[in-house]
Structure 1
Amino acid sequence: MQNISNSFFELLNKIQEKKKGDDIQQYFAEVADYLFKHVAIQAGETRFTFAEIEFYYYKEGEFEGPLYNCTYPRTRNVGKFFWHYSGMDICFESSEEKKYFGGILIRSIKRGSEIIAGPMRCSDEIMNSCDGELPYLVYCETACETPVSTIRYGIEADKNQNMKFCFYIEPETWNRKREGVLVADKATGRYKNVSKTDYYIAEPKKR
């Protein structure tokens, strides 16, 4: 198993060089392309690759306003995971004290050919796959195509300013079909096995 290369962290750290007026969307596209094609998450024995991500960043005096103030503050080193109310991020170098922070929200992942869609589902699946240690990033050559960009889910400023900070690959379907799911039967008070389909209402191509 190969550890993640320093080139990925160096790419993430380039955000520190960005100034107001720079094409930050193009920078996010470069990071997304690298992430989809060369990075995976290892959680126990399970490896997850990326299917959909969103970028969030705030820097006082440089990247402020409605596009940026939807970012969760945090103090974390570059490349570390950050868990929050909406899921989990891969962090840019972040400092609440210095008022710059942000990361890459993991919105959808792949486990083999299976799509797990939605940021909270991703966080749950990754953590529940761990076996005695936290998940970590690994180098992984994928056959992934160049990701497509679109607006982030639920961020009105993206529509108003036509900024596309979400990147994804198009799977055959965003719906996950599962067999043998245990659910409570109210009539008997017992659990029973059912088939279930997880529908992804935030499907990026429909935004």
Structure 2
Amino acid sequence: MALYAPFVSAQLSVLDTICIVGNPSHLAVPGTPGSTYNWSVKGGSIISGLSTNDILVKWGGQPGFYTVSVTETDSNGCVGDPVEAMVYLSLPEHALINGPDRVCRGEEVVLQGRAGGNFEWVGGKTKETLRLIPQKDTLIYLVALNGHCKNDTFYHRISVVEPPIASLHDLPDTIRVNTSVDFFYTGTSAEEVQWMINDHEAGNGYYLA
């Protein structure tokens, strides 16, 4: 990064955007043999090259706009006008996806993404909400586009399972009053089996006595 006139104090301009995570970084002006340079850096500290035309700056952790200025003194002791500019310290956004990770085949999945103001889903969509009906196990990702900072990617895997098919073992057509009857679930594999008798919950599990 270099500071060049006419970045004077009367009209500050944004010189560059710096990623806080990627610091330290260099600031420089064109060098003149025999000259020394007096730097003033807001938002960071100079760690090398203090009186030279090229300094290394370690930036703080607070994003925002900060002023940088440098004054050149030549070999005759003449002091030039200060050259000023602004830098913007940027903090990267992190991507995050909220939503189900296990659904039945044919069901719609609604995913909510969060990744700051500039992001992109797999496939190029740029809305915060992503809707899909996966037909097989699917890996979705969301990328926070961080400009000068490194992009951040969040992955979300959706497992698709077949919906269960319920069935019971054969029951007699007629049951005597006060007779105990056992019920057995014989359908396809299910995470949970709930029994209902006359619209009332009677129990859970593959077996009901």
Query: Shorter-normalised TM-score: what interval?
Result: under 0.3
Normalized against structure 1, the TM-score is what? Answer: 0.17
Comparing both structures, which one devotes a greater share of its residues to strand?
A: 2
Comparing both structures, which one devotes a greater share of its residues to helix?
A: 1
Normalized against structure 2, the TM-score is what? Answer: 0.17
Q: Which has the larger radius of gyration?
A: 2
Q: Which has the higher contact order (CA 8 A, sep 6+)?
A: 1
